[in-house]
Structure 1
Amino acid sequence: MHIIITDAWLAKSQALHLSGLKLALSGILLSVVVMLGSVAAYHWVFLQGVRQGWPGFESVARLVTQGDVDSKELYMRENLDAMARKLGEMQARMLQIESLGERVAGLAGLKPEEFKVQPGSGGALVSGRDITLPELMSAMNQLDRVSGAGVDWLTVIESRLFDQKIQRTLVPTEEPVAGGRIGSPFGFRIDPITGRSALHTGLDFPADTGTPILAAAGGVVVVQDVHPAYGNMVEVDHGNDLITRYAHASRVLVKKGDIVKRGQVIAEVGSTGRSTGPHLHFEVWVSGVPQDPSRFLAAGETLAAAQLVPGNPRRP
């Protein structure tokens, strides 16, 4: 194909020679340009019609966008259902934690019913209709409040149990001589030196010289002295006006101001002071009054036996 282009002003002519291939490519290019122009024009007219509210365009817009809206609603519904199921599982778990908290509260000496942070409520999230987002958010907020209250209560229980544990460690229930037998008990007896009736203010534990003397409970050493009657003596303050005294030691291993733990070796058995042979003289004083140490030691044996009972919740 030959195309001649003539310029009237310049009085020139130019000839274009198009082969069959070039002609086909030109037709395709022209078709593509027309197509893109048509699409652009349609898109512009459609958007203008929707924005300006031209008659007939609103219904067409709904038909075009309905599929996207349905897809988004389905996606939202699936996510809401999944979140609702997870929330139901969390609520069921909170009920289990609440039940456990009630039992632990009873062990701590608190009223178990006071641990119920949401009496009469709870359970999995079950609905006969689709749950809405506001309903889901409300349930999550309630669960957050309930869990926060549960944490506060468990903190109180932990504090109470810790206090009880500390109190137990400060009560002299540990035998001051491991496996030792009791010689002279607490109370009135015939004094082995004078031969007269006298009050024996503690327990005697006969043992070989050098046998370890153990702290009956944790506390602070308030006295480490040599006494005319008690010999090498140690006193440990356990708080609450409760003091234990360990007398006639051959050697003392602690000094005034030391902090000792239950069962710690603080001295060794001897026969210093007013004594007829190697033994430990052990006393318990409460508010300045001597008490029978055997009652404290018996309480420790009872507690140890209870902890060895199978199924006991306090078993170590």
Structure 2
Amino acid sequence: MHFIITDAWLAKSRAVHLSGTKLVLALLTLALVLVFLSAGLYHWVLLKGARERWPVIGSVVRFVVQDEFEQRDRFMRENLDAMARKLGDMQARMLQLEALGERVGGLAGVKPEEIKVSSAGRGGAFVQGRPLTLEEVQATLADLEHLTGERTDLLTVMESRLIDQRLKKMMVPTQNPVNAPVGSRFGWRIDPFNGRQALHTGLDFQANVGMPIVAAAGGVVVTSEPHPEYGNMVEVDHGNGVVSRYAHASRLIVKKGDLVKRGQQIALVGTTGRSTGPHLHFEVLVQGVHQDPSKFLAGNGQVPVPAHDNVAQIAVGPDHRPH
């Protein structure tokens, strides 16, 4: 493309040649300049019209701004309504959790006054009210956070109590020490050696030689040695003053100081010591006082109240030895 530029004052002419590429670049440059000028003019006119409240432009700007505010408010309202529904669900779940915590707390032996509970029962007919504000939602969230902290404290205490109860039950001799029937029970009887009345301080399990003897509960072995009357004997301390004794064994498997768990093999049935035949003589002592082992074996994991009557406190003399 050729352009001829003529200067009348100087009486000269100048020819300008533009190729296709240069022409396209020139048109694009011109278009960009026009776009920037239009945008700047539009922005300046709108700002000036909005500030000085020109009749038409001011109305348009106010309409646009009002529409944006309405959309934003509608968006916030929808989100607040969704949050309010979620809060309602959370409150209902917290009430269910509180009721469950109270039931479990009763099983764990936790008294209601030990944990302060600030929430109260709620109910009644539903009456539609105004939507919640952001401040009200935030306040409800704060209340839920406080209630969650209280529930966490309560459940932590209950967990500790339940673990403690479980450990105590594991440390109470409630498991049969040998898989055999009971032949002679706790109490007064005729001594098989001298025919006189004597106190039998435990249970005799009629088992064959070599049958495994297991710990009736977990604890620490405090004695594992021969005894002139009990024969090969093992004593396990279960804590809280509870000790179980296993007598007349043919072989001792554990030694003093060993930690044993419930059901762990500790010895083998025999007939050592003051014994008329193969059996296991099993005793339970609480605070050093002989107790009826059947109360433990048939119990619910609780230590029976020590019997401090004349029968339980009679010393085992020369004619009152276990067999």
Q: Report TM bin, short chain.
A: 0.7 to 0.9
- Deviation track 1:5-40 (CA, whole Å, cap 9, x = no partner) reads 21635x42236799xxxxxxx999989966763453
Following TM superposition, by how much is the alpha carbon of 1:292 offset from its aligned partner in structure 2, in angstroms? 1.5
The higher relative CO (CA closer than 8 Å, separation ≥ 6) is in 2
Following TM superposition, by how much is the alpha carbon of 1:227 offset from its aligned partner in structure 2, in angstroms? 0.5
User: Distance between the aligned counterparts of 1:165 and 1:28, measured in 2?
Assistant: 85
Following TM superposition, by how much is the alpha carbon of 1:181 offset from its aligned partner in structure 2, in angstroms? 2.0
The answer to whether 1:199 aligns with 2:194 is no
Following superposition of structure 1 onto structure 2, how do residues 141-180 of structure 1 map, counting pairs within 5 Å?
A: 141-178=142-179, 180=180
Aligned-partner SS, 2:52: coil
Residue number in structure 1 paired with 2:52? 54
User: Distance between the aligned counterparts of 1:2 and 1:267, measured in 2?
Assistant: 120
Residue number in structure 2 paired with 1:294? 294
Residue number in structure 2 paired with 1:236? 236
* Kept in 2: contact 1:207–1:269 (CA 8 A): yes
The answer to whether 1:279 aligns with 2:276 is no
* Kept in 2: contact 1:187–1:201 (CA 8 A): yes
AA partner of residue 282 (structure 2): F
User: Distance between the aligned counterparts of 1:35 and 1:173, measured in 2?
Assistant: 93
Following TM superposition, by how much is the alpha carbon of 1:257 offset from its aligned partner in structure 2, in angstroms? 1.1
The answer to whether 1:119 aligns with 2:147 is no
Aligned-partner SS, 1:194: coil
Residue number in structure 2 paired with 1:136? 137
* Kept in 1: contact 2:169–2:301 (CA 8 A): no
Residue number in structure 2 paired with 1:307? none
The answer to whether 1:89 aligns with 2:80 is no
* Kept in 2: contact 1:237–1:244 (CA 8 A): yes
* Kept in 1: contact 2:119–2:147 (CA 8 A): no
Identity over aligned residues, as a percent? 58
Sort the Cα spacing of 1:268 and 1:38 in 2 relative to 1 into closer, same or farther, 3 A.
closer
* Kept in 2: contact 1:248–1:280 (CA 8 A): yes
Please report the RMSD computed on the Cα atoms of aligned residues, expressed in angstroms.
3.3
TM-score (norm 2): 0.80
Aligned-partner SS, 2:110: coil
Sort the Cα spacing of 1:3 and 1:247 in 2 relative to 1 into closer, same or farther, 3 A.
same
Aligned-partner SS, 2:221: strand
157-166 or 29-38, which moves further after superposition? 29-38
* Kept in 2: contact 1:91–1:123 (CA 8 A): no
Aligned-partner SS, 1:183: strand
Unaligned runs of 5+ in 2: 19-25, 303-323
269-278 or 208-217, which moves further after superposition? 208-217
Following superposition of structure 1 onto structure 2, how do residues 248-263 of structure 1 map, counting pairs within 5 Å?
A: 248-263=248-263
Following superposition of structure 1 onto structure 2, how do residues 200-219 of structure 1 map, counting pairs within 5 Å?
A: 200-219=200-219
Following TM superposition, by how much is the alpha carbon of 1:69 offset from its aligned partner in structure 2, in angstroms? 1.4
Aligned-partner SS, 1:251: strand
Aligned-partner SS, 1:90: helix
* Kept in 1: contact 2:4–2:13 (CA 8 A): no
Residue number in structure 1 paired with 2:13? 13
Following superposition of structure 1 onto structure 2, how do residues 88-107 of structure 1 map, counting pairs within 5 Å?
A: 88-107=88-107
AA partner of residue 54 (structure 1): E
Aligned-partner SS, 1:204: strand
Residue number in structure 2 paired with 1:311? none
Following TM superposition, by how much is the alpha carbon of 1:193 offset from its aligned partner in structure 2, in angstroms? 1.4
AA partner of residue 172 (structure 2): V
The answer to whether 1:227 aligns with 2:205 is no
Residue number in structure 1 paired with 2:267? 267
Sort the Cα spacing of 1:149 and 1:123 in 2 relative to 1 into closer, same or farther, 3 A.
farther
Aligned-partner SS, 1:98: helix
